[in-house]
A and B are shown apart, each in its own frame.
Chain A
C-alpha cells in the first residue's frame, strides 16, 4: 500500500503524536542526568525536581516585595496585554477589512496606507511607541496591535474582495443596499476567515508581547524569563516556556472549536 493512502486511526494518532514528544523528553532527561553526574550543581539542564522546586516558590509563595504569587501575577499581566492587543486587532480587522473589501472607493483611498503600515517591521516602531506612550501598558498593547492588525486587515479585505462577484450581483438584484450587503453577505462570510487570521496571528502576537515585556516591564511572563536569565535559572525559564506553549495551544484550540461551532457551513459537510 502506498504511504499516501495509509490513514491513521484516531486512537493510534494520539499514540504516534506522543512518540516524538516523549523521545525529546527522554533525550533531555538523559542529557541532564549525564551533566548532573559530572557536576551536581549544574544549572544549564536542570532535573525535573529542581524545576518543580524553583517553580513552587513562584507558584505558592507570595513575593516578599509585592505580596503577589509571582507566576500567576505574570500570567494575568501577560494575558491581559495579549487579550487587549488581540481584541483590538480583531475588531479593527473586521471593521476596516470589511470596508476595504466591499467599498472600492475606501479601498482606493486607504489600501496603500494599510499596505504601507504592514510592511514596516513592528519592532522598529517599538522605540516610537515607548516615546509616544511611555513605558506603561499602552505601548505593549500598541506593539501587538501594530504587529498583527495590518496583516489581519489585509487578509480579511482580500478575502471579502475575492468573494464571487456573482454573489454581490445577486444580492443587489434581491434589493440589497451597500449596508445590507456588508451586513448580511460580507460580514458572516468574513467571520470564519477572521478567526483563521487570528489563529495565524497568535504566534506573532506572542513574539511582540515577549519582546515588549523583555525590554521594558516589571511584570509578565516575558519579563520573568529575561529577568531570571541573569541568574542562569533554567529551572524557571523552561517551565515558563512550556506554560506559554500550553497557553498558545489552548487559545488555538478554542478558536478552532468556536469557528466550527458558530460557522458550521464554512467547515465542509459536518453540519
Chain B
C-alpha cells in the first residue's frame, strides 16, 4: 500500500450524535487535499482525529501503515485559523521553540553552538515564508497574514509528514489571501509536503488542492437528524490542475506579445 495516511471505517460520535460515519480514505504522499462541506459536517472533527487531538469512536488511522497514537506529535504539523503562535515569543523564538523541545528535553532551551545552529535554521525558514525582516517582532506587532506565515514556518521547521491546515486563511482579507495561496503552493512544491486543508472557500479548495473531498451526510432522518453522520460524498482528483496552470502561463505570454 502506497498511502501515507489511511483511515479505515472511522466513526466519530459525541454522545448519541454521530458526526462522521464510515470514513475510508487513503492519502498519498505529496498530495494537497482540500476538505470542504457545509458547517457542522465534521470537517474540523476529521482534522482533529488526524491530528490526534481527538480519538475516533471506532476505526483505525494508519500513518505509514502504523496505527496513530491518540496524541498530537511532531509528525503532524498544524496551522489553525488563529492562536497558533505564542504571543510571548518573538518570531524567531516561535520557530526555534520546535528545535529546542527536541534537543533539550529538560531545559527546553539551547546554548552555544547548538543555539546558533537552531537560530540559523529558523532564520532560513522565516526567510522562506517571507518574514526575513521581522525576526524580532512579537506576534502582537504583526498583521494577521504575517502571523499565519509565522505559524506555517513554525510547523515546517519540524519537517512534519503531514501539514494540517484548519481554515488557515479564513480570517485574512482577499489580497493577503492571494499572497498566502501563492506562498503555500510554493512551500508545498519546495518542501514536497503532504497537506490536508479544511476550508469554507470552495474556490480556494479547487485552486490549491490536487484533490478535493466534500464531506456531507449521505442519508438524512428528518426526525433524528443527529443519528446520521457525514462522510466523503465527493472525492475529486484534480489531475488537470497543472496542465491548466501551464496554459494560464502561456496565455499571459501571448497576451504580452499581443500588447507589444
Q: Do A and B share a complex? A: yes
B80 close to chain A: CB less than 8 A: yes
Q: How many residues of B contact A (CB 8 A)?
A: 37
- Chain B residues within an 8 Å CB radius of A188: 88
| Of A175, A185, A189, the contact of B74 (CB 8 Å cutoff) | A175
Given A164-B83, A167-B83, A266-B88, A173 contacting B101 (CB threshold 8 A): no
**Is B87 located at the chain interface by the 8 A CB criterion?**
yes
Q: Is A175 a contact partner of B83 (Cβ separation < 8 A)?
A: no
- Contacts A173-B73, A175-B158, A177-B105 hold; do A167 and B88 have CB atoms under 8 A apart? no
Residues of A within 8 A of B76 (CB): 173
Query: With A184-B97, A184-B108 given, is the CB distance from A172 to B73 under 8 Å?
Result: yes
Contact B98 A174 (CB under 8 A): yes
| Cα–Cα distance between A174 and B51 once the two chains are bound (Å) | 12
* Least CB distance, B168 to chain A, in whole angstroms: 12
A268 — which chain B residues lie within 8 A by C-beta?
A: 140
Instruction: Tell me whether A169 is interfacial, beta carbon within 8 Å.
Output: yes
19 CB contacts below 8 A, A to B, read: A167-B84, A170-B155, A171-B86, A171-B101, A172-B73, A173-B76, A173-B160, A174-B101, A174-B155, A174-B157, A175-B101, A176-B108, A179-B106, A180-B101, A180-B108, A188-B88, A263-B88, A264-B138, A271-B138
Q: Is the interface of A mostly helix, strand, loop or mixed?
A: helix
Number of residues of chain A lying within 8 A (CB) of chain B: 26
Q: Are B74 and A174 in contact (CB under 8 A)?
A: yes
Q: Which residues of chain B are near A167, meaning CB under 8 Å?
A: 83-84, 86
Q: Indicate whether A183 reaches chain B with its CB closer than 8 angstroms.
A: yes
Quick one: closest B residue to A183, CB to CB?
Answer: B108
Binding site for B on A (CB under 8 A): 164, 166-167, 169-177, 179-180, 183-185, 188-189, 263-266, 268-269, 271
7 nearest A-B pairs in the assembled complex, by CB-CB distance: A164-B83, A172-B72, A174-B98, A175-B74, A166-B83, A175-B101, A180-B108
A177 to B160, CA, bound (A): 17
* Residue pair A176, B77 in contact (C-beta under 8 Å): no
**Complex-state Cα separation, A146 to B91, whole angstroms:** 41
Does B123 belong to the interface (CB within 8 Å)?
no
Contact among B71, B102, B140 for A265, CB-based, below 8 A: B140
Q: Please give the distance in Å from B135's CB to the nearest CB on chain A.
A: 14
Decide if A265 touches B80 in the complex (CB within 8 Å).
no
In the bound complex, residues from chain B placing their C-beta under 8 Å from that of A170 are 78, 80, 84-86, 151, 154-155
Q: Which B residues fall within an 8 A CB radius of A?
A: 51, 53, 71-74, 76-78, 80, 82-88, 97-98, 100-102, 105-109, 138-141, 151, 154-155, 157-158, 160
Find chain A residues with CB under 8 A from B98 CB. Answer: 174-175
Chain A residues contacting B85 (CB-CB under 8 Å) are: 170
Closest A residue by C-beta to B138: A265
Interface-central residue, A166, A167, A174, A271, by most chain B CB under 10 Å:
A174
CB-CB under 8 A for A169 and B158, given A175-B74, A184-B97, A271-B141: no
A166 engages B80 (CB within 8 Å)? yes
Asked if A180 and B86 sit within 8 Å, CB to CB, the answer is: no
Residues of B within 8 A of A176 (CB): 97, 101, 108
Residues of B within 8 A of A185 (CB): 86
Residue of chain B at shortest CB distance from A191: B88
A173 with B80, Cβ < 8 A, contacts A265-B140, A266-B88, A271-B141 known? no
Q: Of all chain B residues, which has the CB nearest A265?
A: B138
Q: Is the CB of A173 within 8 A of B86?
A: no
C-alpha spacing A264/B137, complex, angstroms: 12
Smallest distance from the beta carbon of B201 to chain A beta carbons, Å? 20
- Shortest CB distance B55–A (Å): 14
Closest B residue by C-beta to A266: B88
Contact B74 A265, beta carbon cutoff 8 Å: no
Q: How far is the CA of A112 from the CA of B77 in the complex (A)?
A: 36
Distance to closest chain B CB from A268 (angstroms): 7
Chain B: CB-nearest residue to A264: B138
